[in-house]
Amino acid sequence: MTADSEVPPVVEMRGITIEFPGVKALEGVDFTLRAGEVHSLMGENGAGKSTLIKALTGVYTIASGTIAVSGVERTFRGTADAQAAGISTVYQEVNLCGNLSVGENIMLGHESRVAGRIDWRSTHREAARHLENLGVQIDTRSLLSSHSIALQQLVAISRAMVTDSKVLVLDEPTSSLDRSEVEQLFGVMRDLRDRGVAILFVTHFLDQVYEISDRLTVLRNGKLVAEHPVSEVPRAELISLMIGRELDELQALSRASVRTVDRTDAPVLSATQLGRKGSLNPVDVDVYEGEVIGIAGLLGSGRTELARLLYGADRADTGRLEMHGRPARITTPRNAIDNRIAFSSEDRRAEGIIGDLTVAENIVLGLQAKRGWLRKVRNPERVVAEYMDALGVTPADPHRLIRELSGGNQQKVLLARWLATAPQLIILDEPTRGIDIGAKADIQRKVAELSNAGLSVVFISSELEEVLRISQRVVVMRDRHKIGELASNDIEVADLVDFIAHDTIKKPESVA
Amino acid sequence: MKRIFKHRMTWPIIALLVLVLVNTIARPSFISVTVQGDKLYGPIIDILRNSAPLMLVALGMTIVIATRGIDLSVGAIMAVSGAVALTIIEGSPAPDSLATVMIAATAGVLVALVLGVWNGFLVSVVGIQPIIATLVLMLAGRGIALLITGGFITTINSDPYKFMAQGYLIGLPFALFVSIAAVIAVALIERRTALGVLTEAVGINPEASRLAGVRSRSIIWAAYAVSGLLAGIAGILYSSNIMAADANAAGLYIELDAILAVVLGGTSLMGGKFSIAGTVIGVFTIQTLKSTITFLGVPPAVSPLFLAIVVVIVVLVQSPQLRDRLSRAVRRVRRGPATPTLTDSGAEAAQ
């Protein structure tokens, strides 16, 4: 045991379970936060990070388990309870009032009063003192919204210090900061840590985890995977802890990637220096007929941004696209659909399903949008039945609302929606996330089958085994750059992890 | 039986029937229909006739609300279309000729269509929030109508024009036929083509619809255009009923009645699924309520309060949440007190 364990824990969460209708978001998770440490909470999307934070900050009520703060067991019925217990949160999007002054924001609810009236002069003096503690000197009477996001975050932290917080939760505070702003924030974090504040830090940037944190806890699929001092976990091991190695059941599925792709014709889609300021550095990608291109990289690596640019969901500001060797203009989803490109978003609920429509209506939607409103799809029942059957959607009731289906079946319906439009290229962003193993296998099998029949596929997944198994080539992304491209048939997951972590691979197999 | 109670049209229909029943009990003559010559008369016939303008406006409002929008300008658009039509007839040498009336009515409706297109432009292209975008015309529209009439209440004498709201065809009011034609036309266009389901998709999840390739901009734009067009026809009927273009009184507060009719018919203000049949029931419910007030001799001073109380009751009866809670309370009383569990509140917070 390390010396850390002698410091008494400020927060002790034991056996935390949270259930939403149909899913266990957290299952028996233990989490310990000690005074004077920066503790990173790690995990891919859907791992349960934000659910755990929301349990700690009183947004969600826990179904079972205990939360003790400074050794006293607490029940949080709302965020106010958590704040009263000394837990403050600074979110990714600063949730302060932009139309109030910096001083008002810091001191809101704690203003200095003289005979019942607010003494603004001493309130601002107090606010300035709190800011100076963090090494910030600005006019506290200036409007909050006139400052940068980085400064607003520091204001949010000062506000937490006004309430004398023992625990500070920083949920992705660095995602919109530049390098020097991150440095300033880290300086403040170190300072607070040395004063005995316990900091829970969430970020997708691995470099930052190693730079600032003392310990880390890894969650995966709502379960605790590991808790270690940072110095004891090499980067590659951390990545494999986060992405996991489950799915023995899927190993049975033969590696679809062992198949040669004919690359003599011009690629179906070819992107040259495709990029968008602030979201993706220019990238080259070619997709040939019948080929599955995997995109590997951690969350925030730019993999989703690339997919969205290829589809026209976001507008690229550099680069050009060619289809079958001819220039193509794809700046909106409509353009993409007219070019027979389909795209299934990683955010199934917000960008995929139309929750209050039926399964049948959701399947026909893509085809109907393509035909226009005037020409209603004839015999929708036949199309619907054909694809529901081919993909094995259960329950096999086309008139059920799609939001009542499980995640895996919703995903199958979305796949059906796109296949019904007869695409030549389909971009699948995390099609297997958060769905059960059976549905996962169904979807992987379908993708392999379709690409054998000539469909080109761009396949994005956090699960590297899955990417390797399905695709012939893998584009590797990190920090919004493409760092390389590998032929997938003779590399293993460990090689890919190495590549993501260090840019190098023991036996390089790059494709020009 | 359970399926009947779950059907979303059940409660709106029950509300309407109860209202008719109460009226009939209070004064049995409510449901009597008399024949004079070859025309039908009676309170029910009046309700069918007088509901025509609200029916037209509410149909348009249904489509707009389905796209997650709202159209506050319908009353003002009614005033404009009436003003345009009556000004043309007033200035015409032959106000009694059918051709003049046709031209005047068409011109009024076309101007209304243009105003609807303007609303749609502000919402779908410029991206202004619907409530603000249509507020512009709600306020400016009556000014435009006053400009057209030169600040006066234009009155005319024209038999063909009068026929539209006051005439009879095969024993029934002509306005009723306009109303029925509009319902059928809207229902056919929305449900026989894919427009209805695409509109619902845009209303439920605009981003998912965009990514699925739905032309959401055109669909939203068209909804406001249709709403403007229907309000224009309503404006013609209204001015035909009083044979005057009153820029200040035409269609006053009709947007509120129309929104209420849509909601009573079971279409959510959050957009998405809409029901034309529901809106028809909602319009009849409101019109019946209004005649109830005159019929029962409620003093004018308290009639808004009376209306409000009845509306609150009707809405409460239709609320699934309230029914749910009531039935749960009933069960709890039968079972004895139950302790609420933590998972309950957790699930609520998650939503």
Task: Please check whether residue B345 touches A, CB under 8 A.
Answer: yes
Cβ neighbour number for residue A155 with a 10 Å cutoff: 25
Residue of B nearest to A308 (CA): B211
pLDDT at A252: 46
Give the model confidence (pLDDT) of A222-256 as tens digits: 889 899 999 998 887 887 788 765 444 444 454 55
Q: Which residue among A333, A334, A355 sits closest to B205, beta carbon to beta carbon? A: A355
Flag whether A347 is in a domain. Answer: no
CATH code of residue A504: 3.40.50.300
Last residue of a domain, one of A243, A269, A303: A243
Mean pLDDT over A361-386 rounds to: 91
Look up residue B276 and give its two tokens: 């034309």
Handedness of CA B109, B110, B115, B117 (dihedral sign): positive
Q: How far is it, in rounded angstroms, from Cα B204 to Cα B197?
A: 10
Phi and psi at B110, nearest 5°, equal -65, -40
Burial class (CB in 10 A: 0-12, 13-18, 19+), B140: middle
Please tell me the distance from the alpha carbon of residue B325 to that of residue A77, in angstroms, as a whole number.
Answer: 22
CA distance A466 to chain B (A): 25
Say if residue A27 is in the same domain as residue A103.
yes
pLDDT top residue among A244 and A454 = A454
* Domains of chain B, residue spans: 7-12+23-297
Give residue for tokens 């893998």. Answer: A474
Residue of B115, B112, B145 lying closest to B133 (CA atoms): B115
What's the pLDDT band for A424 if we cut at 50, 70, 90?
very high
Most A CBs within 10 Å: which of B197, B202, B219, as the mutation test of the A interface?
B197
The residues near B38 (Cβ < 8 Å, ≥ 6 apart) are B168, B171
Q: Is residue A219 part of a domain?
A: yes
Candidate from A63, A333, A352 with C-beta closest to B213: A333
> What pLDDT is recorded for position A3?
45
The model's confidence at residue A512, banded by pLDDT at 50, 70 and 90, is very low
- What is the token pair recorded at A499? 């590549």
Question: What angle, rounded to 10 degrees, do the helices at B174-192 and B159-166 form?
Answer: 70
| Rounded CA separation B261/B243 (Å) | 26
Q: Quick check: A354 and B201 CB within 8 A?
A: yes
Whole-number pLDDT of residue A347 = 86
CB A26 within 8 A of CB A18: yes
Least Cα separation, residue B62 to chain A (angstroms)? 17
Domain that includes residue A171, residue range:
3-243
CB contact under 8 A, A353 and B219: no
- Number of folded domains in chain A? 3
Q: Kind and range of the H or E element at B148?
A: helix B130-149
Cβ-count burial A341-375 (b if 16+ within 10 Å, e if not)? bbbbbbebeebbbbbbbbbbbbbbbbbbbbeebee
Directed axis angle between helix B216-242 and helix B74-91, to 10°? Answer: 50
CA distance A65 to chain B (A): 11
CA distance B185 to chain A (A): 14
Looking at residue A36, its pLDDT comes to 92
Question: Cα(B282)–Cα(B260) distance, rounded to whole angstroms?
Answer: 8
- How many contacts (CB atoms, under 8 Å) link A and B? 99
* Whether A150 and A85 share a structural domain: yes
Q: Is the pLDDT of residue A49 over 90?
A: no
Last residue of a domain, one of A401, A422, A443: A422
Residues A34 and A130 in one domain: yes
d(CA B141, CA B119): 12
Q: Are A154 and A131 in contact (CB under 8 A)?
A: yes
Indicate whether A251 and A334 sit together in one domain.
Answer: yes
A251 and A227 belong to one structural domain: no
Angle formed at CA A305 by CA A299 and CA A311, multiple of 5 degrees: 135
Task: Determine the distance in angstroms separating the CA of A29 from the nearest CA of chain B, rounded to an integer.
Answer: 17
Residue A299 lies in a domain: yes
From chain B, the residues in CB contact with A60 under 8 A are 346, 349-350
pLDDT tens digits for A50-81?
889 989 988 888 888 999 998 888 888 888 88
pLDDT winner (highest mean) among A14-28, A431-445, B173-187, B264-278 = B173-187
Check: CB of residue A63 under 8 Å from CB of residue B343. Answer: yes
The encoded tokens of residue B109 equal 């409706």
Name the band, by pLDDT with cuts 50, 70 and 90, for residue A8.
confident
CB atoms near residue A109 (< 10 Å):
7
Q: Which two tokens stand for residue A17?
A: 């379970």
Of A85-94, A212-221, A458-467, A502-511, the poorest mean pLDDT is in A502-511
- Residue A397 resides in a domain: yes
How close B67 comes to chain A (CA, Å)? 13
Closest-CA residue to A323 (of A351, A289, A373): A289
CATH classification code of B7-12+23-297: 1.10.3470
Answer yes or no: is pLDDT of A423 > 50. Answer: yes
Considering Cα of A403, then A404, then A406, then A412, what sign does the dihedral take? negative
Q: A475 with A412, same domain?
A: no
For residues A206 and A267, membership in a common domain is answered with no
State residue A2's pLDDT score. 43
A430 and A506 in a single domain? The answer is yes
On chain A, the residues whose CB falls within 8 A of the CB of B6 are: none
Chain B environment of A376 (Cβ under 8 Å):
192-194
DSSP E strands: which ranges in A278-435?
280-287, 292-296, 318-323, 326-328, 341-344, 425-429
pLDDT per residue over A159-204, tens digit each? 888 888 899 999 888 776 777 788 888 998 999 999 999 999 988 7
Contact across the interface for A368 and B194, Cβ inside 8 Å: yes
Residues in A closer than 8 angstroms to B208, CB to CB, are 345, 350-354
Amino acid at A175: S
Single out the residue of B94, B176, B247 nearest to residue B102, CA to CA: B94
Instruction: Pick the last residue of a domain from A220, A243, A266.
Output: A243
Mean pLDDT across A477-490: 86
Q: Mean pLDDT lowest for which of A123-137, A372-386, A427-441?
A: A427-441
Q: How far is A22 from chain B (nearest CA, A)?
A: 11
Q: What pLDDT, on a 0 to 100 scale, did the predictor assign at position A162?
A: 85
B272 has a chain A CB within 8 A of its CB? yes
Q: What integer pLDDT is reported at residue B5 of this predicted model?
A: 62
Q: What does the mean pLDDT of chain A come to? A: 85
**Are A436 and A471 found together in one domain?**
yes
Residue in A closest to B346 by C-alpha: A61
Kindly provide the ipTM of the predicted complex, given to two decimals.
0.82
pLDDT above 70 for A397: yes
| Residue A345 maps to a domain | no
Task: Verify that A358 and A301 share a domain, yes or no.
Answer: no
**Closest listed residue to residue B161, CA positions, set B113, B111, B105:** B105
Residues of B with Cβ-Cβ distance to A313 under 8 angstroms: 211
Is B209's CB within 8 Å of A365's CB?
yes
A346 assigned to some structural domain: no
- A509, pLDDT greater than 80: no
Query: Is residue A323 located within the same domain as residue A446?
Result: yes
Spans in chain B with pLDDT lower than 70: 1-6, 335-351
Phi, psi at residue A383, to the nearest 5°?
-60, -50
Span between the terminal Cα atoms of chain B, in Å: 31
Please enumerate in sequence order all residues whose Cβ is within 8 A of that of B125, keeping only pairs 6 or more positions apart, or say none. B217, B221
Q: Which residue has the tokens 């279409």?
A: B267
Cα(B276)–Cα(B262) distance, rounded to whole angstroms?
9
Cβ of residue B109 closer than 8 Å to a chain A Cβ: no
Q: Are residues A391 and A444 in the same domain?
A: no
The pLDDT > 90 percentage for chain A reads 41
Q: Is A421 exposed, middle or buried (0-12, 13-18, 19+ CB in 10 A)?
A: buried
Cβ-based interface (< 8 Å): residues of A facing B: 18-21, 59-64, 77, 311, 313, 333-334, 337, 343, 345, 350-357, 361, 365-366, 368-377, 417
In a domain, A328, yes or no: yes
User: pLDDT (tens digit, 9 = 90+) per residue, A74-94?
Assistant: 888 888 888 888 898 887 666
Amino acid A436: pLDDT: 65
